[in-house]
């Protein structure tokens, strides 16, 4: 039986990944962040801990000896990374490097392959001069989150050269009803649902013209599993290839809630415009399509629909 180890189980992707692996019959172990309440993860053996406690996590990994390691734990908000650049570097960068080393130690000790997937990010490209981006786009991050992810991304290549089946999944934005409300998409859908229920008056946002390549979180988790199991380890852009503006997202969310005249319900506040905001990140996932047989199964309108429906249903 395949045994997997997941970090970041309490997050959006960790929960979907655990569900996918458990459904496949994989024995799933996960690091549950010590400061959060234990996540509800049926079928998963949870181990409390902090990824930055490198020695503890290394002992755990050596004890568990997993076949697959998925490193999803991160300080995942770009905005918060400006407030906590040092913590961001520790969690998203240094702890990822330590986990790669731990995986290699397990591989060498047991003399069998360990497959490692790092949840990287399109933010490693910063404000790229070409669009769409692919795996050969220069890494030139513009914020602390992207810089820490870039370090981990480069370390994946370093460990791949040392013989680890290490993969960096360069993830573009992906959403779901499980996205926390500090992220713009969920802020939009939860506020639109509140407005529709008469519990909020306005939706306050930053730059409505910012454009993003938004996909469906379970699709992106599936790409990571496929990448772990591919014969060859390489990096993959995971993206839909289609960008939409925040304004498009807002319009689709209001439409889903049955509100057509929404312009007066949206207030633009400069406070929410984040520094060095890349204007357009769009990914070219040709390699993932070709080598992993992966493609997105849920389009933009459906993503918005699922999120608004869930927020309306939550009351």
- Shortest distance, CB of residue 112 to ligand NAP, whole angstroms? 26
| Residue with Cβ nearer ligand NAP (16 or 196) | 16
- Shortest distance, CB of residue 85 to ligand NAP, whole angstroms? 14
Active-site residue, from 16, 70, 145, 159: 145
Sign, CA torsion 199/202/207/210:
positive
Q: Would you call 81 a catalytic residue per the annotation?
A: no
Q: Would you call 121 a catalytic residue per the annotation?
A: yes
| Residue with Cβ nearer ligand NAP (159 or 172) | 172
Q: What interhelical angle do 300-313 and 246-256 show, nearest 10?
A: 50
- Shortest distance, CB of residue 101 to ligand NAP, whole angstroms? 16
Note the residues at the interface with ligand NAP (CB under 6 A).
Answer: 7-8, 10-14, 31, 33, 35-36, 50-52, 72-76, 91, 119, 121, 171, 173-174, 180
- Shortest distance, CB of residue 151 to ligand NAP, whole angstroms? 13
Q: Which of 10, 142, 11, 153 is nearest to 82 (CA)?
A: 142
| Residue with Cβ nearer ligand NAP (281 or 308) | 281
Active-site residue, from 15, 76, 121, 190: 121
Q: Measured between alpha carbons, how far is 117 from 173 in angstroms, rounded to an integer?
A: 17
**Can you read off the two tokens belonging to residue 25?**
């019959």
- Shortest distance, CB of residue 87 to ligand NAP, whole angstroms? 8
- Across 87-102, b (16+ Cβ under 10 Å) vs e yields ebbbbbbbbbbbbbbb
Q: Which residues contact 227 (CB under 8 A, 6 or more apart)?
A: 117, 167, 169, 236, 288, 292
| Residue with Cβ nearer ligand NAP (76 or 137) | 76
Active-site residue, from 15, 120, 123, 172: 123
> Can you tell me whether residue 313 is helix, strand or coil?
helix
Residue pointed to by tokens 């929410």 = 272
| Residue with Cβ nearer ligand NAP (106 or 184) | 184
Rounded (10°) CA dihedral 131, 136, 137, 139: 160
- Shortest distance, CB of residue 217 to ligand NAP, whole angstroms? 6
Residue at shortest CB range from ligand NAP:
11
Q: Would you call 108 a catalytic residue per the annotation?
A: no
Q: Which residues pair with 175 in a beta bridge?
A: 216
- The 8-class DSSP code of residue 133 comes to B
| Residue with Cβ nearer ligand NAP (81 or 195) | 81
Under a CB-based contact definition with an 8 Å cutoff, are residues 32 and 44 in contact? no
Please name the residue ranges forming H helices in 117-214: 144-161, 184-196
Q: Which residues are catalytic?
A: 121, 123, 145
């Amino acid at each position: 039986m395949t045994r997997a180890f997941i970090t970041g189980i309490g997050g959006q992707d960790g929960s979907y990944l655990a569900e996918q692996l458990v459904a496949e019959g994989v024995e799933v172990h996960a690091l549950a962040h010590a400061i959060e309440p234990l996540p509800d993860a049926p079928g998963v053996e949870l181990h409390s801990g902090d990824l930055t406690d490198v020695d503890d996590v290394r002992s755990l990994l050596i004890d568990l000896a997993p076949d697959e390691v998925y490193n999803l734990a991160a300080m995942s908000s770009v905005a918060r990374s400006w407030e906590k650049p040092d913590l961001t570097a520790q969690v998203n960068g240094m702890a990822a490097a330590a986990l790669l080393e731990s995986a290699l130690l397990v591989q060498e000790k047991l003399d069998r392959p360990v497959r490692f997937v790092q949840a990287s990010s399109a933010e490693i490209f910063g404000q790229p001069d070409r669009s769409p981006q692919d795996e050969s786009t220069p890494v030139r991050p513009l914020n602390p989150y992207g810089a820490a992810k870039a370090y981990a991304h480069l370390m994946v290549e370093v460990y791949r050269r040392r013989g680890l089946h290490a993969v960096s999944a360069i993830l573009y934005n992906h959403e779901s009803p499980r996205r926390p409300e500090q992220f713009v998409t969920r802020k939009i859908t939860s506020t639109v649902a509140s407005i529709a229920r008469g519990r909020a008056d306005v939706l306050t946002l930053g730059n409505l013209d910012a454009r993003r390549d938004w996909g469906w979180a379970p699709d992106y988790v599936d790409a990571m599993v496929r990448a772990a199991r591919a014969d060859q380890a390489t990096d993959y852009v995971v993206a839909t290839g289609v960008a939409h503006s925040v304004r498009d997202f807002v319009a689709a969310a209001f439409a889903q809630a049955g509100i057509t005249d929404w312009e007066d319900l949206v207030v633009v506040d400069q406070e929410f415009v984040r520094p060095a905001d890349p204007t357009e990140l769009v990914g070219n996932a040709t390699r993932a399509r070709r080598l992993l047989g992966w493609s997105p199964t849920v389009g933009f309108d459906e993503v918005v629909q699922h999120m608004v429906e869930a927020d309306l249903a939550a009351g």
